[in-house]
Amino acid sequence: MTTSIADTAPLLIGGELRPATGGATFDVLNPATEEVIGRAADAGREDMDAAIAAARTAFDTTDWSWDHAFRARCLRQLRDALQGHIEELRALTIAEVGAPHMFTTGPQLEGPVADLGWLADLVEAYEWVTELGESEIMGVRSNRSTRPEAIGVVGAITPWNFPNQINFAKIGPALAAGCTVVLKPAPDTPLIAAAVARIAAEETDIPAGVLNVVSSSDHGLGEQLTTDPRVDLVSFTGSTATGKKIMAAAAETLKKVFLELGGKSAAVVLDDADLNSACFMTALNACTHAGQGCALTTRLVVPRERYDEAVEAAKGAMAAFAPKDPNDPGAFCGPVISAVQRERIEGYIALARQEGGTIEIGGGRPTGEGMERGFWVEPTLISGLDNSARVAQEEIFGPVLVVIPHDGDSDAIRIANDSPYGLSGAVWGTDPERIEKVVAGIRTGTLGVNGGQWYGADVPFGGYKQSGIGRERGREGFEEYLEIKSVATPA
């Protein structure tokens, strides 16, 4: 990789690393310092059209979708090439995303890169033809089989909070399945996507047009990608409001849509749980990457008779996760991505006060050394509200935790499910039978029990209700990018 974070990040279209038509660029800020750390090519509609055309041509005219062994080799090449640049990518991820250093050893960078190897193994082991045996219909005997095939051109639209994780969760299985891809990264985090594009173009055998990366400050290019009839599937991660618009726009061409959307996940604490551990871990979860994660638990649902104790325990825990420079190896809570996002979070904190809530800790901007600039928000704990409050119902996407009382296991399940979302959650307790009933009762896509971690390349991730459609990662996520063809031949 021959670039630095000061260079203009190019587009990747049809195997060519190039500027946007007309040479337009836009600045990218470090959210911890507000400094300009680079520029990205600012694509227009002509560039997006060229990227879609390149992906369509590569799918229709090459052996990419049929040569399973070649795809597996290319995925391993990409993994190895990325690992060879891991320190450059780490520095760029910390600078562009504001991701704390420690998370780049996991889901912010190293984890999703390593997961490309899991996908390569899956391609090689996958049953690409399944024999169904003979049948006889109206005197005709036939041998039947099913054959999974790549769905075609994939439009991938990704957010800024975990760009490596989410970019690779779309690029990886789509390429593994034999699809071609047009990736539109979030305008807040285009540099890391462009760095990956450069590595793929210069250091792998992935054919021209198979992977295209188009950065733009114009959100209208996402709509263009969604509505173009040459695109067969749109894979989107982001807000539920935008997901609804994408689903509606994609309906015109009846293309398949994968949506991974919002969450307002509940950590349910039963009356026999270790309350201190549950409150500590939930506070930690809510402060992870400054609360900028759709699957983070942001509602702490505790027994009413232990409510005050739970508030104090959570308050003490959140005090331990004060924001730090994301380059600090001990940092856990960094900045939020932008001034706009900080203002949105502060608006919700003000709303909590208006609704009658008490700000137990936080609620403002930290004033420590090095935080004079940057988009910082104090970890904030809210008490005194029930589950009907807007701050308990709406996704805030910041380090904000709401403590809600429950009146027994059934009531706790009711509260957890009293949400338009169903993405993730947690259960804390000691009685296995009671835990199992709560796990079965909560309508959500992932659950951790007593601190159990579900994250992994082989684990499907996605939500119920307005948290999305489909699953990402795991075998199920890979199969989102496949169509099934049934074939009959004479017996």
Question: Which active-site residues does the annotation give?
Answer: 260
First vs last C-alpha separation in the chain: 55
Residue of 402, 352, 355 lying closest to 381 (CA atoms)? 402
**Strands 16-18 and 11-13: what pairing?**
antiparallel
- Two tokens, residue 146: 């099913």
Identify the helix (H) or strand (E) that includes residue 276: helix 275-287
Cα angle at 75 between 72 and 80, to 5 degrees? Answer: 125
Tell me which DSSP letter residue 395 carries.
-
> What whole-number distance in Å separates Cα of residue 414 and Cα of residue 368?
41
SS (H, E, C) 218-258: CCHHHHHHHHCCCCCEEEEECCHHHHHHHHHHHHHHCCEEE
**In which order are the strands placed within the sheet that holds 36-41?**
8-9, 36-41, 25-29
Tell me which DSSP letter residue 5 carries.
T
Q: How far is CA 237 from CA 47, 154, 180, 394, 430, in A?
A: 22, 14, 18, 17, 35
Tell me which DSSP letter residue 472 carries.
B
Q: How far is CA 68 from CA 122, 369, 444, in A?
A: 10, 54, 34
- Two tokens, residue 190: 């285009």
Residues 6+ positions from 365 with CB-CB distance below 8 Å: 342, 371, 376, 377, 378
**In which order are the strands placed within the sheet that holds 256-260?**
16-18, 11-13, 211-213, 180-184, 153-157, 233-237, 256-260, 468-469
What phi-psi label fits residue 245: left (phi over 0), alpha (psi between -120 and 50 degrees) or beta? alpha
Tell me which DSSP letter residue 66 carries.
T
Exposure letters 411-430 (e unless 16+ CB within 10 A, then b): ebbbbbbbbebbbbbbbbbe
